[in-house]
Structure 1
Amino acid sequence: MENFSYLDPGKPAIFKDQFVTKVNECIVPFTDGAKGEIGLIGLPFSKTSISFSQAAEAPKTIRACLSSYSTYSGEQNKGYEDVKIIDFGDVITHPTSTDESIERMFISVREMLDQDVCGRYILLGGDHGVSYPSIRAFQEKYGRIGIIQWDAHHDVRNLENGGRTNGTPFRSLLEGGFIQGEHLVQVGIRDFANAKKYHDYTKANGIAVYTMADIESEGIVQIVRRAVERLSSLVDVIYLSVDMDVVDQAFAPGCPAIGPGGLTSRELLNSISEATQHEKVIAMDIVEIDPSKDFRDITSRLAANVMLKFMYSGK
């Protein structure tokens, strides 16, 4: 009888179907000379959250959820097993200094971009404060940058009450001169979730704001399609910033700022798929998931699906 071992030390005992390629199997760590279609980086920082949050744990949780999905799209009848994802790892943040952590994230994202080994990028937060250093890095690399922000909140809070927080990234970018107001589109802004002062700030700065009422009457795919078409004529590249609290609490219970009346998971996925069709859309961050607040990784699994739509939408 031939000797055969069913032990594989150091590796999980998982079922493997020879005809199925899981998304996580397409992820390879960055090494000199490596090239791929998608660059992936984790920004595990949530100390700027105005409410208690362990969103710093989200990058590893979302990565783990990718093992639940195959690279085959039945809707497109197309396999994406040859799409290589280059993982640049997670930024090592400072244990106490917020300013130092923000600078480290900026440097690390810019370092990833300077490698020029990928055409598109996914950044996993972290709270929404990580978008400030990330978008700065993209702006420095590519020039004029347009942003579509999926969010229940404007995230243009003042900087006097607490400094830079997860509620200030877009005010920080605007007042730092890194973006222009007319190049920012906010989608999914929820009722009774913001202050009049910040509503007025968005209008004064030329930010395009689409509320849940607008989505209900016009449809989110049509709104996003128009936004991408308009931005593409004004900017060099487009960056998608997905705050998962834009989704209704029924579909995303793992967000620190959950609430009713948000997007369904299908609305989010369809709108991401629509935006990703345009060649100028080169990056997306996903933020505001606290795995400790989640149930059976519902929110992280949705985030993983958002990644699939960004990576595999037939571009």
Structure 2
Amino acid sequence: MFPYLKEAGKANFQDRYVTKANELLISWDGKHCSSIGLIGAPLSKSSISHSGAAFAPQAIRQALSFYSTYSIESGIDLADVTVTDYGDIVMHPTDIAASQRRIAETIEQVVALQPKSMWIVLGGDHSITCPVVSGWQKQKGTIGIIQFDAHHDLRNLEDGGPTNGTPFRRLIEAGIVDGSRLVQIGLRDFANSRAYTEYGKQCGVTMYTIEEVYRLGIQTIIEKSMQMLSGVDAVYVSVDMDVLDQAFAPGCPAIGPGGMDSRTLLHAISLLARYDKVQAMDIVEIDPTIDFRQMTSRIAASVILQFLKGKKERV
């Protein structure tokens, strides 16, 4: 009736020859599921520093609208890919442990519904990785984890409980993942303690500092990591966005200099996604309330697209 009115939030300009990446997301109707599922875990009350990461899942979804579905580098168009968006897990308003149990139970349920699907989980702070992996692993058997992070996240639980600094210690101590099947990539100088580095080494964790990333090359590290994890049934990738230098990710609560550049991270995700054993990924530690021009959320959206592209380029 009114030709110049549009639905709020919709783009003003539409090009018939361009498919926007956010159009790949189809809300779950309770019946139909695609081979790729996306789910939000908006928990940030467990962060040891101020964090609005609970707002990140929606910010990342919205940031997909800044991209097309066409990869000029590979000639691949993702326009025919459907990602089932299951929405966000409802967090308990005050109880962190209850929220983490809700995450584990929900992930276990959706993965049981679609055990062969690839999964993308949007945090939230890094504490969500422990319950997500706990629920996901029950359908997968022996797993390996590749963690992009400036920090070990192997802190003790006595000083603060299950925070965003403890997920991988919890997974190791619960026997969900063996330390020898955890690879940490991008550890930053002066961002960790000797005690947790030694703990990781004692558990058999493989560690690559950011200096080693640039000296050895990310492709070499990815190939060596996947070869080392060749005996597992499935691999989970955890992307803590603070692995990036603060110049690329101003929306991370724990920014710092000397980190990874965005191109290296995106290339790593594309390489990993080509492996059939890589079957799930999370993206964590973005606080949209402190981001600048959605820079960090835009990189997260690009991480999703590189993951989807890599799945079309499987080795």
Tell me if both proteins adopt one fold, taking TM over 0.5 as the criterion: yes
Does residue 123 (structure 1) correspond to residue 150 (structure 2)? The answer is no
Query: In the alignment, does 2:286 pair up with 1:279?
Result: no
Partner of 1:146: 144
TM-score scaled to structure 1, two decimals? 0.96
Please report how far the alpha carbon of residue 216 of structure 1 lies from its aligned counterpart in structure 2 after TM superposition: 2.2
* Letter matched to residue 234 of structure 1: G
Aligned residues: 312
TM-score by length of 2: 0.96
Match status 1:240 vs 2:237: yes
8 Å CA contact 1:181, 1:206 repeated in 2 = yes
Question: CA-to-partner distance for each residue in 1:262-308, whole Å, 9 max, x for gaps?
Answer: 00000100111111110000110000000111100000000000000
Q: CA deviation at 1:11?
A: 5.8
Q: Secondary structure at the match of 1:81?
A: helix
Superposition deviation, residue 37 in structure 1: 2.8
Q: Which consecutive aligned stretches of 4+ in structure 1 deviate over 3 angstroms post-superposition?
A: 8-11
Q: CA deviation at 1:27?
A: 1.0
* 2:252 aligned partner: 255
Inter-partner Cα distance in structure 1 for 2:13 and 2:227: 44
> Aligned partners of 1:10, 1:118: CA distance in 2, in Å?
36
Correspondence for 2:206: 208
- Is the deviation greater in 24-33 or in 47-56? 24-33
Alignment pair present for 1:165 and 2:176: no
Contact 1:34 1:117 in 2 (8 A): no
AA aligned to 2:64 is L
RMSD between aligned residues: 1.3
Amino acid at match of 1:197: A
Q: Which residue of 1 aligns with 2:181?
A: 183
Secondary structure of 1:93 counterpart: coil
- How far did 1:7 drift? 2.1
Where structure 1 has 5 or more consecutive residues not aligned to the other structure, the ranges are none
Query: C-alpha offsets along residues 190-230 of structure 1, whole Å, 9 cap, x if unaligned?
Result: 11111110000010000000011211210122101210122
Say which SS state the counterpart of residue 39 (structure 2) adopts. strand
Contact 2:111 2:117 survives alignment (8 Å) = no
Deviates further, 11-20 or 140-149? 11-20
Structure 1 contact 239–284 (Cα < 8 Å) conserved? yes
Q: Name structure 2 gaps, 5 residues minimum.
A: none
Are 1:136 and 2:137 counterparts?
no
Is contact 1:187–1:210 with CA below 8 Å preserved after alignment? yes
Q: Is the 8 A contact 1:183 1:234 kept in 2?
A: no
Deviation at 1:112, TM superposition (A): 1.5
> Following TM superposition, by how much is the alpha carbon of 1:139 offset from its aligned partner in structure 2, in angstroms?
1.1
TM superposition shift of 1:77: 1.3
Equivalent pair of 1:28/1:87 in contact (CA under 8 Å): yes
1:1-315 equivalences under 5 Å are 5-9=3-7, 12-116=10-114, 119-231=117-229, 233-313=230-310, 314-315=313-314
Instruction: Provide the C-alpha distance between the structure 1 equivalents of 2:41 and 2:211, rounded to a whole number of angstroms.
Output: 32
How far apart, in 2, do the equivalents of 1:9 and 1:178 lie? 46
Q: Distance in 2 between matches of 1:225 and 1:86?
A: 30
- Supply the distance in 1 between the matched residues of 2:291 and 2:7 (Cα, whole angstroms): 31
Deviations 1:87-146 (A, max 9, x none): 000000000001110000111111211221762110000000000100001111111111
